[in-house]
Amino acid sequence: MPELPEVETVRRQLAPRLVGATVVEAGSHPSHKFTPATETIGHRIVTDGRRGKFLLFGLDDGRELVIHLGMTGRLRLRSTTGGPCDRAPDGRDERDPDLAYLRAWWALDSGETLQFIDVRRFGRIRVVPASDYSSIPTLAAAGPEPFDPTFDGHQFWARLATSRRKLKTQLLSQRPVAGIGNIYADEALWLAQINPKVTRISPQRAERLLDAIRTVLRGGIDHGGTTLRDYRDVEGRAGDNQGRLAAYGRAGLPCLRCDTPLRSAVIDARTTSWCPACQRR
């Protein structure tokens, strides 16, 4: 599932091509997970943003287009005008097998069409009044952005202390800090040398964990995201952070710090890998 670094990579690529453009035509599959894309027709995209794993595009009428990529969602831009043969407004091209999974599209006055391709259909699209996320509970309850300079280790510790659940579970809930999923949770806990099953940590360890979260997320962004199977950027390219993972998916392999084989277990339904020697309980 795309996490903060993957979503941020997509945001950075889309922003210069979406902001300032007006939606001239649009369509989407009927789904309770989607606000119909047609609601954006006639509106200009005026801002871009991201909160956790959600993309936020402000419209000129004070509403916001909110996109969550889910498990397998992908956004891409296709030219719809010019060239030897003009394409259909939704950017369809029979030679493109991914179009079987086209769930929504927005044709822009720039001559490009934004396409949302989603094989497993966990992605969500909403158009809401700007900053009113009451219809998107995960987003409404999301904790601070990890790179918010006013967010510090003590605040992070205080947020963690409100729950007795295992640390790994808390990170995945988005509540202590936004944007982390299974991959970067395992990576950050390994880097901070903290066991994923603990339920309480000291303020000092919370500070170290926040530093580790920032380090692994920044590394993910710098390497264009992590591609295990489905994730692709706007240009269709895989990220290359998967070659840098120290914990996620490495169960049985030697710890890169101490050579002890990493262990794995399912913690609250998510497979988790950690080093039994340098991430002791």
Q: Please tell me whether residue 278 binds Zn ion under the rule CB under 5 A.
A: yes
User: How many residues belong to the site for Zn ion (CB under 5 A)?
Assistant: 7
3-state class (DSSP) for residue 130: coil
Q: Which residue from 237, 257, 263, 270 is in contact with Zn ion, where contact means CB under 5 A?
A: 257
Identify which of residues 203 and 249 has a Cβ nearer to Zn ion in the complex: 249
Question: Residues 3, 39, 64, 187: which is the catalytic one?
Answer: 3
Q: Please tell me whether residue 247 binds Zn ion under the rule CB under 5 A.
A: no
Nearest residue to 101 (alpha-carbon basis) of 7, 10, 3, 28: 28
Question: Residues 11, 50, 53, 76: which is the catalytic one?
Answer: 53
270 is catalytic: yes
Q: Please tell me whether residue 277 binds Zn ion under the rule CB under 5 A.
A: yes
Q: How would you classify residue 139: left for phi > 0, otherwise alpha for psi between -120 and 50, otherwise beta?
A: alpha
44 is catalytic: no
Nearest residue to 113 (alpha-carbon basis) of 7, 11, 41: 41
Q: Please tell me whether residue 263 binds Zn ion under the rule CB under 5 A.
A: no
Q: Please tell me whether residue 262 binds Zn ion under the rule CB under 5 A.
A: no
Q: Please tell me whether residue 275 binds Zn ion under the rule CB under 5 A.
A: yes
Listed ranges 30-38, 134-142, 148-156, 267-275: which one lies at the site for Zn ion (CB under 5 A):
267-275
Cβ distance 169 to 267 under 8 Å? yes
Cβ distance 160 to 199 under 8 Å? no
Question: Residues 12, 44, 237, 270: which is the catalytic one?
Answer: 270
Q: Please tell me whether residue 253 binds Zn ion under the rule CB under 5 A.
A: no
166 is catalytic: no
Identify which of residues 137 and 252 has a Cβ nearer to Zn ion in the complex: 252
Q: Please tell me whether residue 246 binds Zn ion under the rule CB under 5 A.
A: no
Q: How would you classify residue 98: left for phi > 0, otherwise alpha for psi between -120 and 50, otherwise beta?
A: alpha
Q: Please tell me whether residue 255 binds Zn ion under the rule CB under 5 A.
A: yes
Which stretches does DSSP call E strand in the chain? 23-28, 45-51, 54-59, 63-68, 74-79, 102-108, 112-117, 124-129, 263-267, 270-274
Strand order in the sheet with 124-129: 45-51, 54-59, 63-68, 124-129
33 is catalytic: no
What positions carry a catalytic annotation?
A: 2-3, 53, 270
Query: By the criterion CB under 5 A, which residues form the site for Zn ion?
Result: 255, 257-258, 260, 275, 277-278
